[in-house]
Structure 1
Amino acid sequence: MSGYDPALVDDFLEHHWRYRPVDATFMGNRDHDHRLPPVGPGVLAEELDGNRVLHARIAATPEPPALGDRLDRRMMLAELEVQAAAIAARPRLANPAWLSGEAAFSIISLLLPQTAPVRHDALRARLSAIPAFLADGAAALAGTPTPAGWMRRARREAQAMAVFLREDIALHDEYTPDWDNARSGAAAAFERFAAAIEGLPDADPACGEEYLALIMKRQHGLALSPTEAVEQARSAFDRMGEELVAMASAIDGNRSWQDIVAGLGKIGPRTVEEAFASYRAIDMEARAAAPGLVTPAVEYGLDYRWMSPCFRRISQSLYFLFYRSPPGLDAGQGSVYWVTPPGDDEAAFLAANNTATVKTIHSVHHGGVGHHTQNARARVAHSRLARIAGTDCALGLAFLGAGTLIEGWACYVEDLLMEAPGFYSPEEEILLKQYERRNAASVLVDINLHLGRWTQEQAAAFYRDEAGFAPSRVEGEVVRNSMMPGSRLMYWLGVEGIKALRGRWKSDTQSFHDALLSYGHVPLAWIAEEMDRAGQLNP
């Protein structure tokens, strides 16, 4: 048995990027900026062959003594194993929303602030490649049973991208007329793709227990079975429902918790300018409340800006994030956080940007002490893959296994600031409890849907009638659940894992959180094992 070679990470990434070049752009590698993913006949078989060879090479090496190498080796083996299973059970080329998403973000990824300046040659090359990419994808899908929600999402994305390419891309600061021929051809290709996939026969999106259990065990590192996770989440969901009632009664016996949460939407800025300023102001308050709890990243900037005009319409139809993790391989000096400008309804804008929402979601969950600090710490993690695993790509995280730490932390830190006296009002703490309950609800949908226990209609009814999701969000949530098994359970299970780990930490609160984030983007369960190995945990 030969020793572990850190250069295996380079081989792994080249294999990954060969089939996922848009991921490479988001991660900060520019070598694949001109390419789209291969989709022709035999692509998946070719990828699987390369996967098996690479997996065998890595598996033949001993566990490395160095922390970063050890985590890299473990992540590569887990990702390769799950990717191989996905090729057999959930091939991405059979998902029209994967095709529309990759095509759309192949362009958008080159236009975002974190990839500035625009690589014009690469942009034109990708625009020119879109017609063949979408035509080949549509041909492969012809007559194939496909979950109707996936088809509808793909058609919506394709139609929106056609409008973006015909109209709004010209609003980009670096637009030049030499994009015009290629963007016109790409727009027409998106329209043809939307028409070609309409009416595909429906299919059940459930992935089955074996595949879901593999994701939970190998990618997330969870010891729980899907059934055990459902039982825990159901118990917590019911308990938190009772807690919400008790919390509301303690504030005002004449108002339900739903009424109290609704009332928070009326508390906030009175003007658009005040709403924008509140993002930065509350972010600063959160950072000021953090000492003793966690060390916020101050060395890496966070720039709140109005969303660029060219993206304002397309952002409503795609997986378009107002805060996107910066490219780990080319991180620069900071991140851009976009604030969506008001439309015609200024009152709706102010309600959506009420103080409680800006505080919990924007300034804490995503902002200075949340994802932003997490990403800044990941940039200097010992593991090379932990620096980029949490990159937001076209459909979600680059490597799903990092999600229990990434989303677990961002949800956990919302509650953590309840330990800072006066940061939240009692009413805002009810809102946080509702968020926690919704995350437990998402575990139930994620697992029950993929085990075939719930239909999509039952999942939608549960989200709407029991979990309290806004009706406008329900279909999108169910489609997301159905497309990406194991992607919604990681929020609540991640929070629960962090709480359990904190209870075993031998030192103070701030050192625990700083140590937790220092590992970068790897499964929380692996961090627990490494902390235990280092003698930092009580039994």
Structure 2
Amino acid sequence: MDEFLAWHFQSHPIVAAYLGADGYDHTLGDFSAAHLQAVEQEERRWIARLSQSQAPTPDDAVDRDLVLSHLRGSVAMAQWPTWRRDPAFYLSPVFTALNTPFQQRLKPEPELVSAAVAKLAEVPGVLAACRANLDPTIASPLLVQRGLGQARTGRHLLTVTIPGLVEDDGLRAKLAAAAVPAAAAFDGLVAFLEGFTCGGSWRMGEELYSRLLRERELLGYGAADLHAKGQKAWADLDGRMREVATRVDGTHDWRAAMESLMDDHPATLADMRAEYEAETLRAREFVRERDLVTFPDGEECLVQPSAEYARPVLSVAHYLAPPPLGSSRTGIFFVPYTPDGFTPEQVRQRLRTNSRAQMPSIAVHEAYPGHHWHLSHIAGNPRTVRKVFRTPYFTEGWALYVEKLLHEQGYFDTPATELAHLDCRIFRAARIVVDTALHCEDMTIEQAEEFMSTRASLSPGTAQGEVNRYCAWPTQAPSYLTGALEIERIRQAYDGPLKTFHDTLAGSGGLPLGLAEKAVLG
């Protein structure tokens, strides 16, 4: 494992730095086609080697199988090469590598600026690789337009936003000067993408989708079965919500009830952030009072506006974990601010989908005992590989599982918050239905947007942003409810105190669910 991790970090320095590994924070790495193809070949060699290895303990076997699931998923994706299809493959890592250190501020400012200057010098090369590697025969216009929206934020982010986070005048000027060539490279990429003509599809197809579910997620079923699970879950939740809606507005129409609840929302984006912060503190105190989990020493969850570069592509709340290989236990719950160019009506719609009835569920999911607690907790796991590789089918599944847990514990104590809690869950059931249908060619984008705005309480604009995300990130959207249902199944088989179950399961890492079951039940 140590030898494999050393190779993995050397091949993926942005990932290594994000995780908190020492020695990787001054480079973006190699994005050339030759390097990416060499990494794929080396991954195949590691699969062969690890498949033949003997694990001396059950925990070692879980570690080995965790790495194998990651590698097999990566090799499977080689037939769907994101680096030839999607500008985000280059843009998102660059933005993460440059912006995240200043958000977390885990090192002295001179060190942060020195690392940023070194990485800025590599930005033109990474963006040149993007231009060279995108294949017009397989790149999708939808993904290119999505990447174009990200690329247009590059100049302002590098020349204004990030330097603005530096307190020392001299260091700020040094960083701003180093950003000039990188910003020019972003201008060039924007011009390139504006004129880039391509004709590929964003649809993954059922064969690869099912392979990823079986080999990477270790679920034991494919896309068709997952689609059916989503339909059944949606129907079950629809029945429950009809009953709760009668306690909200006296009718069985839960969509109309949610529409009325969404009219009660914060007045501004800044007010939304402040109210989320208050709700996050309330959730933390509730979990502590009920003694549902063990809190890591020194953990803290900050509540901040979403990063400027993320606003064109993320329309929902999200979370940035503390680096699991470092000592910090401070995470950031990002509130979904809108891009600067949004109209007042678009801003109002964003506020409506973060209504006061919905905030408790979202704060539980993102913070306590959802993502922040979980990812702070696993940072204490002594097995390094468990902190490096994790799947959204566990991490997102855990965050949705604890929403239901807190419902059982009485946290959603009004009909309005209970209905909103169920709405968050039926939204995840709708995601399963739509994501599988989109990528298995059973649904158009327009049908998917209509489904998300009529079968879940999303505004048309938010539904559009959601579906755009599903097109770009196949298999991720179903992870929430799929993982939650699997965790609930494991909990039913566990014989022991609830708190011990939570500490043990969540502490095992963010494993594929089949491995998580072995780690907890033996």
Question: How does the TM-score come out when normalised to structure 2?
Answer: 0.88
CA distance in 1 between partners of 2:261 and 2:444 (Å): 34
Amino acid of the structure 2 residue aligned with 1:207: M
Summarize the alignment of residues 71-110 of structure 1 with structure 2, pairs less than 5 Å apart.
71-110=62-101
Equivalent in the alignment of 1:244: 241
Q: What do the CA deviations read for 1:512-536 (whole angstroms, capped 9, x no partner)?
A: 2222212121122212123332xxx
CA distance in 2 between partners of 1:101 and 1:77 (Å): 25
Indicate yes or no: 2:211 matched with 1:220. no
Secondary structure in structure 1 of the residue aligned to 2:38: helix
Equivalent in the alignment of 1:301: 299
Equivalent in the alignment of 2:374: 374
- Of stretches 297-306 and 15-24 in structure 1, the one that deviates more from structure 2 is 297-306
How far off its partner does 1:66 sit?
Answer: 4.3
CA contact (8 A) 1:323 1:338 kept: yes
Match of 1:427 among 416, 431, 434: 416
CA distance in 2 between partners of 1:295 and 1:304 (Å): 20
CA contact (8 A) 1:365 1:410 kept: yes
How far off its partner does 1:333 sit?
Answer: 4.1
Distance 1:523 1:114, change over 3 A: farther
CA contact (8 A) 1:154 1:194 kept: no
CA distance in 1 between partners of 2:37 and 2:268 (Å): 56
CA contact (8 A) 2:396 2:479 kept: yes
Match of 1:314 among 309, 329, 338: 309
**Cα RMSD for the two superposed structures:** 2.9
CA distance in 1 between partners of 2:255 and 2:517 (Å): 37
How far off its partner does 1:155 sit?
Answer: 0.6
CA distance in 2 between partners of 1:226 and 1:293 (Å): 38
Match of 1:129 among 122, 132, 148: 122
Amino acid of the structure 1 residue aligned with 2:424: Y
Distance 1:177 1:260, change over 3 A: same
How far off its partner does 1:91 sit?
Answer: 3.9
CA distance in 2 between partners of 1:507 and 1:497 (Å): 18
Equivalent in the alignment of 2:193: 197
Secondary structure in structure 2 of the residue aligned to 1:35: coil
Amino acid of the structure 1 residue aligned with 2:357: A
- Of stretches 273-282 and 149-158 in structure 1, the one that deviates more from structure 2 is 273-282
Match of 1:36 among 7, 10, 28: 28
Match of 1:208 among 205, 210, 220: 205
Identity of aligned residues (%): 24
Match of 2:466 among 471, 477, 497: 477
CA contact (8 A) 1:297 1:368 kept: no
CA distance in 2 between partners of 1:88 and 1:259 (Å): 44
- Of stretches 104-113 and 76-85 in structure 1, the one that deviates more from structure 2 is 104-113
CA distance in 2 between partners of 1:188 and 1:281 (Å): 41
Match of 1:233 among 230, 235, 244: 230
CA contact (8 A) 1:161 1:314 kept: yes
Match of 1:495 among 468, 484, 505: 484
Q: What do the CA deviations read for 1:385-408 (whole angstroms, capped 9, x no partner)?
A: 222334xxxxxxxxxxx2222111
Distance 1:480 1:331, change over 3 A: farther
CA distance in 1 between partners of 2:75 and 2:266 (Å): 50
Secondary structure in structure 1 of the residue aligned to 2:325: helix
Equivalent in the alignment of 1:187: 183
Amino acid of the structure 2 residue aligned with 1:383: R
Structure 2 unaligned regions, length at least 5? none
Amino acid of the structure 2 residue aligned with 1:179: L
CA distance in 2 between partners of 1:465 and 1:293 (Å): 38
Distance 1:381 1:56, change over 3 A: same
How far off its partner does 1:289 sit?
Answer: 3.1
Distance 1:230 1:42, change over 3 A: same
Amino acid of the structure 1 residue aligned with 2:208: Y
Summarize the alignment of residues 39-188 of structure 1 with structure 2, pairs less than 5 Å apart.
39-67=31-59, 69-118=60-109, 119-141=112-134, 143-174=136-167, 175-188=171-184
Distance 1:468 1:359, change over 3 A: closer
Distance 1:491 1:305, change over 3 A: closer
Distance 1:116 1:281, change over 3 A: same
Distance 1:79 1:353, change over 3 A: closer
Amino acid of the structure 2 residue aligned with 1:405: F
Amino acid of the structure 1 residue aligned with 2:385: L
Summarize the alignment of residues 381-460 of structure 1 with structure 2, pairs less than 5 Å apart.
381-390=381-390, 402-421=391-410, 423-460=412-449
Secondary structure in structure 2 of the residue aligned to 1:205: coil
CA distance in 1 between partners of 2:336 and 2:442 (Å): 38
CA distance in 1 between partners of 2:334 and 2:453 (Å): 29
CA distance in 1 between partners of 2:70 and 2:335 (Å): 34
Secondary structure in structure 2 of the residue aligned to 1:110: helix
Q: What do the CA deviations read for 1:221-251 (whole angstroms, capped 9, x no partner)?
A: 1012211111121122123223222221244
CA contact (8 A) 2:69 2:217 kept: no
- Of stretches 77-86 and 454-463 in structure 1, the one that deviates more from structure 2 is 454-463
CA distance in 1 between partners of 2:337 and 2:312 (Å): 16
Structure 1 unaligned regions, length at least 5? 1-8, 391-401, 534-539
Question: How does the TM-score come out when normalised to structure 1?
Answer: 0.86
Q: What do the CA deviations read for 1:158-197 (whole angstroms, capped 9, x no partner)?
A: 1111122232233113452112332111111111112212
How far off its partner does 1:351 sit?
Answer: 5.8
CA contact (8 A) 1:383 1:520 kept: no
CA contact (8 A) 1:388 1:521 kept: no
CA distance in 2 between partners of 1:152 and 1:270 (Å): 31
Q: What do the CA deviations read for 1:104-132 (whole angstroms, capped 9, x no partner)?
A: 22211332225443432221121111112
